[in-house]
């Protein structure tokens, strides 16, 4: 049996159901690719009395031996946040189906609910965008299209910012604002400027969480120290949301 188990935003958010499953598993992995938390492999290992093996990006997107092993043994893959928030996790489920491996999903909290701490209503968020690291020959701009589409319907936009825990590289909200400003200038778009109101978040949902509210140009001046990061560009803010943010 193959289990995808959500750790939640902080590892202690894991459910009782998740813990019960881990105690009976033959092998336990944790992916360290799509997110970063205050998760301690050592602490959870002590709690369940079993070793946990870390899998990095190349192993999650590679041959995925852990799925094949689940044909004969109980295998668990721990996921930060909720197990199905990333495309990669859907691909893992599809591969399990193709290989006729039985699987179970155990859900948990994630960034998609934690953003409500900003004071913005969850039902008013539109499509979520991901802003990747730019490279010399790889500078995608599709996330800006998402912002434009959301603003047309006055919806809020959540941008998930790229990270590489293995190399300790994290795209900051300031860098994300730079990307948005550069694309807006290139496209001559009026949907985003230095005057646009933004919310920059550090470690949202964790004890060291910080939220910074202000114009895009002010976000550029900040230093961010506590990953993971995300950036929110609100659409139309209601009176209730404005009151919460103001306090």
Measured CA angle at 18 (ends 101, 121), to 5 deg: 105
All residue ranges of the chain with pLDDT < 50 are: 37-38
Phi, psi of 30 (to 5 degrees): -130, 135
User: What does the pLDDT read at residue 73?
Assistant: 96
Give the start-end residues of each E strand in the chain: 2-8, 27-31, 53-55, 75-80, 103-106, 129-131, 157-161, 163-164, 169-170, 197-202, 210-215, 229-233
User: What does the pLDDT read at residue 37?
Assistant: 46
Structure confidence by residue, pLDDT tens digits, 120-161 = 999 999 999 999 998 888 889 999 999 999 999 999 999 999
Structure confidence by residue, pLDDT tens digits, 18-38 = 999 999 999 999 887 555 544
Domains of the chain: 2-109 (3.40.1010.10), 112-246 (3.30.950.10)
pTM (predicted TM-score): 0.86
């Amino acid at each position: 049996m193959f289990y995808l188990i959500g750790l939640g935003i902080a590892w202690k958010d894991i459910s009782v159901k998740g813990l019960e499953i881990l105690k009976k598993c033959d092998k336990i992995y944790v992916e360290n690719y799509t997110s970063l938390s205050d998760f301690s492999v050592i602490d959870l290992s002590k709690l369940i009395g079993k070793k946990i093996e870390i899998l990095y990006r190349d192993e999650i997107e590679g041959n995925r031996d852990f799925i094949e092993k689940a044909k004969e043994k109980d295998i668990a893959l721990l996921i930060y946040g909720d197990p199905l928030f990333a495309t990669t996790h859907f691909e893992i489920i599809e591969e399990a189906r193709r290989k006729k491996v039985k699987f179970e999903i155990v859900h948990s909290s994630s960034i998609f609910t934690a953003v409500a701490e900003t004071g913005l209503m969850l039902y008013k968020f539109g499509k979520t965008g991901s802003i990747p690291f730019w490279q010399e020959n790889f500078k995608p701009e599709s996330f800006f299209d998402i912002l434009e589409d959301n603003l047309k319907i006055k919806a809020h936009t959540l941008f998930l910012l790229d990270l590489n825990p293995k190399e300790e590289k994290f795209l900051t909200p300031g860098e994300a604002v730079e990307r948005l400003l550069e694309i807006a200038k290139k496209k001559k778009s009026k949907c985003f400027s230095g005057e646009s109101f933004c919310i920059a978040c550090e470690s949202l949902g964790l004890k060291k969480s910080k939220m910074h509210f202000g114009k895009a140009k002010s976000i550029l001046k900040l230093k961010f120290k506590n990953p993971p990061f995300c950036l929110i560009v609100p659409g139309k803010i209601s009176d209730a949301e404005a009151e919460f943010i103001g306090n």
